[in-house]
């Protein structure tokens, strides 16, 4: 059996294998077209959601700040904080990835009223645009390979989910890999005009080599599909498949060579960063990522339930529903090929979830590359359920349910998913957006001056990055109860040939064992400003006692003046429901369900 050289519109429930439907299927085609929308309209919907994320989404992970925004700031402005991953001794971060984003951010300097904060948001908007474009590509391929109604559900699952809100404009390799995976999947899924295996492999390689190496695993089901069809094909098509696969492998090797050359320039020694990342995460003898915490196997199930609610449940049900449908189906002819294609489309999400659920160290951003495939699985599952309800035998229990009642049940379910998604999204924004607005008084002028230091203690991981500090105002750390390794600073020495000497000069105190380095701290007296968060509820319930290394700086009016304070959610004191979703602060809501608040403050030391 061989894959077709070109395909047309898909059947109602399975991938396309033939050209446009015949006259006897005209009615079915008309129903499908009722769900079709123009690509530009889909792009605008995706773009609106992504731009909202770029403008309002808090930085969820301190890795985004210290491992990506800070190195980009160093390339653009000559200084910034450095993590051990960028030490030439370890070299597990790609400077090509950073340089590409830094160049995009620097375009903002060519426009009027340029500031560092403007550069930050300009890069976010560009990331949002790229994400929306890739989402549109995958949506279009879904409509062509499956069904316009599946494509419509795909849009809903992505646009209305908090997970996509945080992933779409994040400056993270996992978000970059997510976009590249959508472009790659679009190539593999769309057989119109011939198979695009090499193009699909190229885009997955872009996500894996320039972004996150593990994301290349999402390509495996599509490559296996091509290999299987090659085995089952005649000799001519067998060699065509081998040629396509070879071109894909060569394109990946070219990307590896390019990445190695750029990193060799920055690190001043030959470094294959993609291999360094794999080696550290899988073969490390020093503890690897498990040093930074481990989670139980069900961590991602809880996390995805919060970030995709009903859509995650549908995604989990997609394969059982498909298998059940195939068992009941009496179709013939193209059933094997189309059924295999559907299984291939469903596989990436399950594969990714299984692999990362087995890893001890887990973080929410590790799921980003699989988000589009979760949405695809959920859309297919919902389509299958609606088809089953709509064509049920009138003699069965389901068939006796009035059509309006079925429609109301579906509408209620989608409304619930939308409400939960919006409540989660707004809850995260309203609770944790303060760090992105805290530094406005510094940026407006009149407060502080060049060379001042802004210090961070127990809230060091809330720092959004040096883009939010005026020129030559530096971030420093004072010691708190935290006993792990904090970032250092890129060397600013100008030595040797070339630029950015801090990328290759040895950095003192950096290690891959998360060992505290006392050299990362400054004395409190050296801090012109200090960022701290006050949690009144914890003081009340704890008898007014705080850890010795984390005093209530906000209450120390003898030493500190308050420059700016913004509400900040006290996650530790807030009950789970109010922490997971937005809960309004209405008086009739019981106290045990209400959100508890602290104050995220910028303080100035009195002279």
Q: Which helix (H) or strand (E) holds 474?
A: strand 474-477
Average the pLDDT over each of 5-14, 202-211, 560-569 and give the range with the smallest value: 5-14
Helices (H), 329-454: 335-357, 371-390, 397-400, 403-432, 440-444
pLDDT class of 188 with cuts at 50, 70, 90: very high
Backbone angles phi, psi at 418, to 5 degrees: -65, -45
> Contact 373/215 with Cβ under 8 angstroms?
no
Strands 560-569 and 597-605: antiparallel
Domain-by-domain residue ranges, the chain?
A: 23-428, 436-605
Indicate if the alpha-carbon torsion angle 388, 392, 396, 400 is positive or negative: positive
* pLDDT at 21 (0 to 100): 42
* Threshold 0.85, pTM exceeds: yes
Helices (H), 65-216: 70-77, 95-106, 116-145, 148-159, 162-167, 173-189, 197-205
Say if residue 328's pLDDT is above 80: no
Integer distance in angstroms from the first to the last C-alpha of the chain?
81
> Contact 83/454 with Cβ under 8 angstroms?
no
> Contact 171/57 with Cβ under 8 angstroms?
no
Say if residue 177's pLDDT is above 80: yes
Q: How many CB atoms lie within 10 A of CB 29?
A: 16
CA dihedral 232, 237, 239, 242 (to 10 degrees): -70
pLDDT class of 18 with cuts at 50, 70, 90: very low
In percent, how much of the chain has pLDDT > 70? Answer: 89
Q: How many CB atoms lie within 10 A of CB 146?
A: 27
* pLDDT at 449 (0 to 100): 82
Overall average pLDDT of the 178-204 stretch: 95
User: Of the candidates 592, 580, 589, 8, which has an alpha carbon nearest to the alpha carbon of residue 302?
Assistant: 580
Separation CA 398–CA 16 (nearest Å): 29
pLDDT tens, position by position, 475-492: 999 999 999 999 999 998
Separation CA 373–CA 295 (nearest Å): 23
> Contact 388/398 with Cβ under 8 angstroms?
yes
Contacts of 309 (CB under 8 A, 6+ apart): 161, 416, 417, 420, 421, 424
- Tokens standing for 528? 């012109």
> Contact 140/63 with Cβ under 8 angstroms?
no
User: What Cα–Cα distance (Å) separates residue 345 from each residue in 29, 168, 355, 378?
Assistant: 22, 22, 17, 12
For the chain, give the mean pLDDT: 89
Separation CA 373–CA 444 (nearest Å): 43
User: Of the candidates 288, 220, 308, 210, which has an alpha carbon nearest to the alpha carbon of residue 251?
Assistant: 210
Average the pLDDT over each of 19-28, 133-142, 419-428 and give the range with the smallest value: 19-28
């Amino acid at each position: 059996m061989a894959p077709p050289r070109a395909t047309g519109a898909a059947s109602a429930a399975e991938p396309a294998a033939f050209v446009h439907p015949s006259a006897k299927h005209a009615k079915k085609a008309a129903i499908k077209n009722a769900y079709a929308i123009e690509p530009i309209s889909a792009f605008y919907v995706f773009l609106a959601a992504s731009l909202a994320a770029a403008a309002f989404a808090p930085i969820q992970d301190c890795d985004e700040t210290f491992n990506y925004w800070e190195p980009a700031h160093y390339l653009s402005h000559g200084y910034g904080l450095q993590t051990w991953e960028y030490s030439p001794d370890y070299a597990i971060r790609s400077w090509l990835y950073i340089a590409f984003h830094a160049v995009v951010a620097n375009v903002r300097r060519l426009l009027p009223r340029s500031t560092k904060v403007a550069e930050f948001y300009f890069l976010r908007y560009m990331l949002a645009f790229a994400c929306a474009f890739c989402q549109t590509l995958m949506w279009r391929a879904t409509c062509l390979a499956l069904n316009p109604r599946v494509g419509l559900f795909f849009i809903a699952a992505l646009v209305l989910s908090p997970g996509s809100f945080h992933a779409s404009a994040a400056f993270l390799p996992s978000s970059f890999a997510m976009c590249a995976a959508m472009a790659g999947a679009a190539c593999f899924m769309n057989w119109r005009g011939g198979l695009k295996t090499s193009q699909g492999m190229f885009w997955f390689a872009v996500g894996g080599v320039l972004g996150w190496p593990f994301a290349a695993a999402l390509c495996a089901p599509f490559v296996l599909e091509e290999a299987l069809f090659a085995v089952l094909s005649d000799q001519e098509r067998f060699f065509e498949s081998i040629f396509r696969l070879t071109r894909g492998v060569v394109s990946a090797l070219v990307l590896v060579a390019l990445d190695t050359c750029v990193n060799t320039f920055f690190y001043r020694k030959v470094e294959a960063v993609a291999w360094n990342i794999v080696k550290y995460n899988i073969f490390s003898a020093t503890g690897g990522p498990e040093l930074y915490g481990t989670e139980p196997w069900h961590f991602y199930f809880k996390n995805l339930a919060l970030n995709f609610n009903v859509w995650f449940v549908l995604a989990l049900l997609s394969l059982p529903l498909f298998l059940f449908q195939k068992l009941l189906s009496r179709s013939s002819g193209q059933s094997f090929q189309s059924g295999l294609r559907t299984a291939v489309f469903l596989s990436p999400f399950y594969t990714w979830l299984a692999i990362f659920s087995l890893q001890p160290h887990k973080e929410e951003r590790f799921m980003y590359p699989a988000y589009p495939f979760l949405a695809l699985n959920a859309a297919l599952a919902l389509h299958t359920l609606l088809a089953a309800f709509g064509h049920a035998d009138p003699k069965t229990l389901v068939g006796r349910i009035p059509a309006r009642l079925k429609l109301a049940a579906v509408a209620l379910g989608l409304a619930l998913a939308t409400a939960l998604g919006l409540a989660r999204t707004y809850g995260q924004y309203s609770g944790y957006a303060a760090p992105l607005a805290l530094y406005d008084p510094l940026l407006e002028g009149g407060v502080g001056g060049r060379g001042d230091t802004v210090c961070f203690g127990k809230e060091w991981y809330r720092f959004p990055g040096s883009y939010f500090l005026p020129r030559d105002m530096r971030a420093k750390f004072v010691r708190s109860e935290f006993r792990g390794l904090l970032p250092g600073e890129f060397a600013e020495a100008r030595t040797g040939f070339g630029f950015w000497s801090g990328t290759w000069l040895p950095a003192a105190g950096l290690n891959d064992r998360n060992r505290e380095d006392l050299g990362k701290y400054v004395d409190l007296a050296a801090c012109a400003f200090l960022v701290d968060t006050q949690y009144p509820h914890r003081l009340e319930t704890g008898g007014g006692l705080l850890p010795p290394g984390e005093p209530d700086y906000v209450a120390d009016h003898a030493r500190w003046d308050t420059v700016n304070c913004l509400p900040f959610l006290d996650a530790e004191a807030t009950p789970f429901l109010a922490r997971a979703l937005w809960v309004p602060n209405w008086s009739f809501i019981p106290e045990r369900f209400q959100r508890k608040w602290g104050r995220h403050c910028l303080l100035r030391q009195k002279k």
